[in-house]
Amino acid sequence: EPAYPPARNVTVAGDRLSVYSGEFSVTVRAPGERAVAVDVEFQPCDDSRCLAPVRLALEAPDSTEEKKR
């Protein structure tokens, strides 16, 4: 399970949302010592509008690569 930082809860159009702003980290434990692919989906908003949702495909490197250097 991902470990999310504390969020600020807001209600928008009757929906309760967990909101994060600025920089933050979400921690996920991966099995073994290998590269892990993750998809991150987010929607940037400000007080007056929201942009279209964005999905990024990212890869966290093999943790042993750092140890080899």
Percent composition of the chain: helix, strand, coil (DSSP 3-state, to 5): 10, 40, 50
Question: Could you identify the residue written with the tokens 């099995």?
Answer: 31
**Each residue's pLDDT tens digit, 18-32:** 888 888 888 887 777
pTM for this structure? 0.59
Please give the Cα distance from 18 to 47 (Å, whole number).
15
pLDDT at residue 35 in the model: 81
**Each residue's pLDDT tens digit, 25-62:** 888 877 777 788 889 899 888 877 889 999 999 987 77
Residue 68 pLDDT exceeds 60: no
